[in-house]
Amino acid sequence: MYTQDKTHRITLRLNDEQFEHVTRNAKVMGVSPSELLRIFINVSIASEKYPDAVEKTIGNFMERNGAGRENDKTDIDDNV
């Protein structure tokens, strides 16, 4: 098995709901469950190192997908 720079191993026990969540999302993203968990960890690391950049990225994603608070979607001309 080719592990690149991965020299540490973790054994993780999950309940049924957690396991189904990981495997379902890994399938959607086209990655292995292990790779999905690495992605989650890397996002967490990035949010600690670059909190402003992560917040902006999440905000942009939510805006593109129509998510967020209703007041965030209005502009100055929307008088109620």
Choose among 4, 17, 8: nearest CA to 41. Answer: 8
In a domain, 6, yes or no: no
In a domain, 45, yes or no: yes
Residue 24's domain comprises: 16-67
Query: Could you give the CA distance from residue 54 to residue 58 in angstroms, rounded to a whole number?
Result: 6
* pTM beyond 0.75, yes or no: no
pLDDT tens digits, one per residue of 7-63: 999 999 999 999 999 999 999 999 999 999 999 999 889 888 887 877 777 777 777
In a domain, 49, yes or no: yes
What letters, b where the CB count within 10 A reaches 16 and e where it falls short, cover 41-77? eeeeeeeeeeeeeeeeeeeeeeeeeeeeeeeeeeeee
In a domain, 5, yes or no: no
In a domain, 39, yes or no: yes
> How many domains would you assign to the chain?
1
